[in-house]
Amino acid sequence: MSSFAPLFVVFGLLHSFGTGWPTYICYGPAVLATVTLSVMLRVWRRLGSSKVRVARARHRDADAIGYVATYVVPFAAMGVSTWESKIALLFFMLLVGVLYLRAHLFYVNPLLSVIGYRLFEIETERGRVLLVITKRKFMQLNLEIDVRTLSDYIFLEADVADSSRR
């Protein structure tokens, strides 16, 4: 949900669903999603970690930019003056949300990028490909990192606070 927070803010600023209470209804999910992301980051930090050695790495930060350009910009630019267009916009947003969740794209999150997280696709020395959310600027080869499992192939680096200094 937090990946849609910027979109809800844009809807509110543009009064996409009207002025007054519809604007505040747009801001509500943005605030709730941002707070929830903060809580989830704290919860994830408490998960058990495992070590992996980086054999190959590449940045995947462009995924977040592609996400914003593909979905958020068209939403924001869409004129929604009639109730039909507002319902169509809500339906399209719901559809994108379902696809986002079913494709396990929660790592493509503009808010994570804004607060300093980066995304790397790494291959371990055993040949397993993982997506790692971290605060590192670079992922060195042969580096051993502690990661926490978020899904089958998506991990959060365990010591992200320390990694931002590396």
Mean pLDDT of 89-96: 75
Length of the chain: 166
The per-residue pLDDT for 7 is 77
The whole-angstrom separation of Cα 17 and Cα 5 is: 16
Q: What percent of the chain has pLDDT over 70?
A: 78
**Alpha carbon distances (Å) from 79 to 18, 36, 54, 82:** 12, 30, 47, 9
Angle at 29 (CA atoms; ends 23, 150), nearest 5 degrees: 155
Domain residue spans of the chain: 2-163
Cβ–Cβ < 8 Å for 158, 49: yes
Model confidence pLDDT, tens digit, residues 40-58: 888 887 777 789 889 888 8
The whole-angstrom separation of Cα 44 and Cα 21 is: 34
The per-residue pLDDT for 74 is 61
Model confidence pLDDT, tens digit, residues 13-26: 878 777 888 888 88
pLDDT of 164 over the 50 cut: no
**Alpha carbon distances (Å) from 164 to 16, 18, 55, 134:** 38, 42, 20, 8
